[in-house]
Amino acid sequence: MIAVVQFDSEEVGKRVVDANGREVGVVKDVQADRAYVDPDPSVVDELASRLGVGSADENTVALSSDDVRAVTDEELQLREGTAI
């Protein structure tokens, strides 16, 4: 059975890693059942996300809970085969 991941505002600012542990982005915003990831954050973007400033825009990629294997205190871990 696959565990269902629930997103909340605590995910904003967390790094996103692929199934191999390689960092692929940073969560910029969470809306409903989607986490919006900036796949190429600048230092300023990453700091703004960690401070809770910013929102989803044309540069973000939407992830559903089906795309995420696990959420830890520091990162979202993508399922095998999920690409940003």
Q: In the predicted model, what is the mean pLDDT of residues 1-22?
A: 86
Question: How far, in Å, CA of 28 to CA of 59, rounded?
Answer: 10
**pLDDT, position 45:** 59
The verdict on pTM exceeding 0.85 is: no
What band does 69 get if pLDDT is binned at 50, 70 and 90?
very high
Question: Which residue, chain included where needed, has tokens 């915003």?
Answer: 29
What band does 57 get if pLDDT is binned at 50, 70 and 90?
low
The CATH T-level fold of domain 9-78 is: SH3 type barrels. (2.30.30)
Which H or E element spans position 48?
A: helix 43-50
Question: How far, in Å, CA of 45 to CA of 13, rounded?
Answer: 9
Q: Output phi, psi for 81, to 5 deg.
A: 90, -10
43 pLDDT higher than 70: no
